[in-house]
Amino acid sequence: MYSFDMESPSTVADAAKALGQDEAQALGGGQTLIPTLKQRLASPSVLVSLAGIAEMKGVCTADDGSLAIGGGTTHATVAAEAGAYAALAALAGNIGDPAVRNRGTIGGSLANNDPSACYPSAALGSGATIVTNKREIAADDYFQGMFATALDEGEIITEVRFPVPEKASYMKFEQPASRFALVGVFVAKYADGVRVAVTGASEEGVYRWSEAEAALSANFSADAVPAAPSGDGMISDLHASGDYRAHLVGVMTKRAVAAAS
**Nearest-approach distance from CB 38 to another protein, in angstroms:** 7
**Nearest-approach distance from CB 192 to another protein, in angstroms:** 36
Closest CB to another protein among residues 47, 228: 47
Closest CB to another protein among residues 50, 69: 50
Q: How far apart are CA 148 and CA 117, in angstroms?
A: 13
Closest CB to another protein among residues 1, 138: 1
Please report the DSSP string for the chain in residue order: ----EEE--SSHHHHHHHTTSTTEEEESS-TTHHHHHHTTS---SEEEE-TT-GGG--EEE-TTS-EEEETT-BHHHHHHH-GGGHHHHHHHTTSS-HHHHTT-BHHHHHHHT-TT-SHHHHHHHTT-EEEESS-EEEHHHHB-STT-BSPPTT--EEEEEEPPPSEEEEEEEE-TTT-SEEEEEEEEEETTEEEEEEESSBTT-SEE-HHHHHHHHH--SGGGPPPPPPSTTB--BTTB-HHHHHHHHHHHHHHHHHH--
Closest CB to another protein among residues 22, 63: 22
Closest CB to another protein among residues 74, 121: 74
**Nearest-approach distance from CB 153 to another protein, in angstroms:** 20
Give the burial string for 27-55 (b: 16+ CB within 10 Å, else e). Answer: bbbbbbbeeebeeeebebebbbbbbebee
**Nearest-approach distance from CB 69 to another protein, in angstroms:** 18
Question: Which residues here bind another protein, judged by CB under 8 A?
Answer: 1-6, 8, 27, 30-31, 34-35, 37-38, 46-47, 49, 51, 76, 96-100, 102-103, 177, 179
**Nearest-approach distance from CB 105 to another protein, in angstroms:** 12
Closest CB to another protein among residues 6, 218: 6
Closest CB to another protein among residues 167, 239: 239
**Nearest-approach distance from CB 48 to another protein, in angstroms:** 11
**Nearest-approach distance from CB 49 to another protein, in angstroms:** 6
